[in-house]
Amino acid sequence: MRTLRSMSFAVLVLALACTPKAGGGGAAATGTPEDEQAIRAIADKYAAAMSAKDTTALAAITTTDWELVDPTGRHQQGRGAATAAAAQDFAMMPAGMAMGMKASTTFVRWIDATHAVAGGTWEMAAAMPGMPGKGSWLGVATKEGTEWKMMSALGAPDMTPMMGAPPPAKKP
């Protein structure tokens, strides 16, 4: 028991020693207001690229080491895989379909001065038949040089229209 307490105390001391101190030594726990603004702007850039079906613009906002597992279980690694998947999605859309996508960033949570988690919502003026036209997204942003880019992101469709109305509350 005494050994377990000593080990627990040692782990706690080590963890505290490795935690960056606020206001000195080590990396800043947050980026600048300009960094946050740049991260928030990624959602607008993404929506514009999707609306224009522009894989070059999508490539410009993703890191070279992009990675995700999409909802079908397909593992994408690298910027090329991300743009190829987007091009495939664009090719499956009906000819002349204008998506008119809008996206917004609800929050930015800092990991350190060059990495953050961000999330928000998206909506499309025209969705593919049978597909939800709005939802949410979550991504990890990183600073490459002087630019902020997404290194991984995932969108989730709003499924409430498909689930129907919730059952009425039971009376006491």
* 8-17 pLDDT per residue, tens: 333 333 333 3
The reply to whether 110 falls in a domain is yes
The reply to whether 76 falls in a domain is yes
Assess contact for 155 and 137: CB atoms under 8 A.
yes
The reply to whether 116 falls in a domain is yes
Task: Name residues of the chain where pLDDT drops below 70.
Answer: 1-28, 127-130, 161-162, 164-166
- 47's CB contacts (< 8 A; 6+ apart) are 101, 102, 103, 122
* 22-42 pLDDT per residue, tens: 444 445 578 999 999 999 999
pLDDT the model gives residue 13: 31
Q: How far apart are CA 38 and CA 147, in angstroms?
A: 8
The reply to whether 3 falls in a domain is no
User: The CATH number of the domain where 108 resides is what?
Assistant: 3.10.450.50
Total tally of structural domains belonging to the chain: 1
The reply to whether 105 falls in a domain is yes
Q: What residue numbers bound the domain in which 58 lies?
A: 28-156
The reply to whether 15 falls in a domain is no
pTM value surpassing 0.75:
no
pLDDT the model gives residue 3: 32
